[in-house]
Amino acid sequence: MIKSLAHELGFMFCGISKAEFLSEEAPRLEKWLSKNMHDKMEYMANHFEKRLDPTKLVPGAKSVVSLAYNYFPEKDLAKDDTFKLAKYAYGEDYHFVIKRKLKEFLERIYESVGEVGGRAFVDSAPVMERQWAVKSGLGWIGKNSLLLNKNQGSFFFLAELILDLELTPDGPVKDYCGTCTACIDACPTDAIPEPYIVDGSKCISYITIELRDAIPKVFQGKMDNWIFGCDICQDVCPWNRFSKAHNEPAFKPNPELGSMSNADWHELTQDVFNGLFKKSAVKRTKFTGLKRNITFSGK
């Protein structure tokens, strides 16, 4: 019933795992934090126990339902000679789109089985989404630290329902990265120092979105025209040749985005920014942040 509902609501994949302490992840997370790979993302070091134990988010939790929602666009707007936005930010902010679906999902569960204790999450709380998705069989974590699926690559959002409902868990799938190092080799800032580890402080997505300070000069000439997010490690991944275009109207890009020239980006005003990104995730970096990114890239 849960999986049938997920597909009715447009989720591409749905998997279930037992809500339990992520004992294998505790030392990995601790090591990553100790190396300061989260840089200025202080929130990554907060709520350590909650990240690892779903029962601290939902008392009495028994199951984690992991969901994947496709955002691969029909047309890639990133061109070599123009400024680029990550594909996930072309349309309406995914938080709003998916939260609406999760709310309906919970309501439909209540209608079917009665009152259930649970919460819905989409990148909105200390939940280790990729790790739960792996335990639920949605895919494996690739060498670029993103979740990969044999049938759809990695261009999808992850979301979860943590419920006090006993559900039959799915098992994990194997890692199909093999000897491939495409993502490691392609990263212009060397943000993947070793397979499966991403140094957030060097990641173009972090630099263009999360970092509020001036961009360190060491990255001059290495940004590859990205001004909000980055898709390099996904674009070069062989598994993404299987990505299929989404059919979510809310994710369709503003028509003006595809016609923006470098001159248009440099001349961007607050009013144009507000109109262009009215409901977009790009608002996260604010107008001043986007202008900083454009100026730093310097084309």
pLDDT over 70 for what percent of the chain? Answer: 92
Please tell me the total number of residues recorded for the chain in this structure: 299
Bridge partners of 163?
A: 63, 118
User: How many Cβ atoms sit within 10 Å of the Cβ of residue 249?
Assistant: 9
**Is-catalytic flag, 123?**
yes
In the chain, the amino acid numbered 103 is K
pTM score of the predicted model? 0.92
What are the extents of the domains in the chain?
2-73+93-163, 182-243+254-297
39, 123, 164, 264: the catalytic one is 123
Tell me: pLDDT of 293 over 90: yes
Distance between CA atoms of 16 and 248, rounded to whole angstroms? Answer: 24
pLDDT digits (tens, 9 = 90+) for 99-120: 999 999 999 999 998 888 999 9
Res. 129: pLDDT tops 70: yes
**What CA–CA distances, in Å, run from 268 to 208, 258, 263, 272?**
17, 15, 9, 6
pLDDT at residue number 268: 96
Dist CA 229 CA 207 (whole Å): 8
Residue 125 confidence class, pLDDT cut points 50, 70, 90:
confident
User: How high is the pLDDT of residue 24?
Assistant: 75
Partner residues linked to 17 by β-bridges: 64
What are the residues whose beta carbons fall under 8 Å from the beta carbon of 228, sequence distance 6 or more? 85, 86, 89, 208, 209, 282, 285, 290, 293
CA distance 233 to 246: 20
